[in-house]
Structure 1
């Protein structure tokens, strides 16, 4: 007993020693082991033991109600539906924005990265981005025109004025390089096929013909026929579901007097079953594949929905070079 008293049960490790069973030993030994008496503990002693053993209540973990609500959606079936929703949003919205950005980037990629400019009385090779109206530039065989300019004295140029939407079509309707002489205008993005001459810059950046075209591609927002059809389908589904839910509420509660719980379950089934969840995902994936295939052919697609509209075209009007009218 003396050895046991050397290590009284005043800490969690000693409290459940196999050698001392507080549930079976005599009460006097219980008092000795716990260092207490029938008169109870003093406040100071109780506070000290409270620090050792902790409060007499179960440990409660703080629970976030919002996370608890989300936990109901943490299952394989919900994961599939959530993944489908994310894919629909990413492919429909993200793909559209990405195509618009790629369209502008594809146009800007055709601009000259470097140019030869006359500054401080000396010819220097500089980035085309530093050009301003009034700069004098040099154009020779193989150069890409860095900005809209008027030609000065020099040899006539053969210019391939590549169309901003298709490198095979010409800017002015000519399928072959055109001859440019002193005083004529050349456009940024065009390619010099023959000759060498100097020119004065008259428009740069978004103010050039090329820049205006890039801005047009980046800023155009058109609601096409395909989007209108999808909107009509969505509105029809919403109206149909709303009418069905109203009829079901009238039948279940006032007529059949069903319980609130069963009625809610039926309404949820009708709501979820009436929504064509897979349709946006399937359409987005199909249009994304079509957009990718067109990009491999050099076509710039700003709106994926334009692919369906182009496929549904009955008559295509263009000139001899293929420029769409």
Structure 2
């Protein structure tokens, strides 16, 4: 519009200055000009165009966008804004949404193909930036491609034809509601409701499913090692053969209980997780070996000593192989199913309440196992009832040796990840790489103290130590620092006005949180 006007040379500087000022406030600018047409004909060339002014347009983000981005950052998901708007508008929008103002123009992406001395290193720039402004479809595609080359799982949201290449390239392309047909066909997921909050729900749901899968894997490895190693040691040391039919009963009851994990109450991981088979198998092997040794110790005490008879006044089982088999069956069944509560929890197992269905299945299965051990006399299974006295002793024995399982779990994870002791208090996932988070914690505490000083947060607020992925944590910290910088600027301006007008500083102090 400005180029059409006859006075463009005289007013260009002022117009662009006003456009920049509007952009700093997050406003788009629409130029308005008019032309006199004396002939009143559409074919007439008319007179010169006269520039009237600028109309500021405000396109605010959705009401839930800031909260959605905050939740994504807390979940370790780094969010980047890629927009065709001006850089100033992008920075102001990023500030409003709390995602940081570390944004760059699309010209910064030229370092790979053009003069590398005129642009920052592209790979590092894209990883650390909060967003890019003035981009074209090829820029969006290139950003997604570079993030994937850096081994990031990349998702892309969009609604227009210009987003289609990037949506197709991304690991997860998401077309928002009311998007074009081109965007819908290129995307993997099409949202039917406005907003992006449903993406956070999908992340939490998928992490809960993944957590259940991991819990089951650790349990399955532990039980396999426990059954094989335990009965092998009994056969090698004492030549004792556990009845195969009772192994089948244990497997059936365990499977019935473990299926309820699909409906169990789990806490999703606070950051992106992945299969780390060496850690999962190590945890399962150590716990399974411990349980096998517990069974071997129980057999030795029952068959070779009179400890239980002397302390609990029960009859000896050493003379009856069938009764020993019943006792071993009950001990293996109790501790095996109780292990579910250890593998399903990230903290102490008694602090994380399991699902109702899991508890009901455990109680029913153990009631059946106890009744079999107390009353069953099955010749082909080579078992004989041991009575309620011995069943009570076995329950007490299993409870005592259940307690160290949590400590073993923490120890193994600490040895493998260097981080698991935090689970004692924070209940965070232990399957992470060993890293030094001290610097991040100190910076987070500094941000908290600054927010407290400015009246934005009570001093009683506690940092929960949630360690998001490094990039997301940096983005969140940049957003905090940007907000703090604005607060300091506002406070300095107020204090300077106070000094100039000789006002009472104490009056202003009470309103410094505005």
Fold-level similarity (TM above 0.5):
no
TM-score, scaled to structure 2:
0.19
Q: TM-score, normalised by structure 1?
A: 0.27
Query: In proportion to residue count, which structure has more helix?
Result: 2
More strand by share: 1
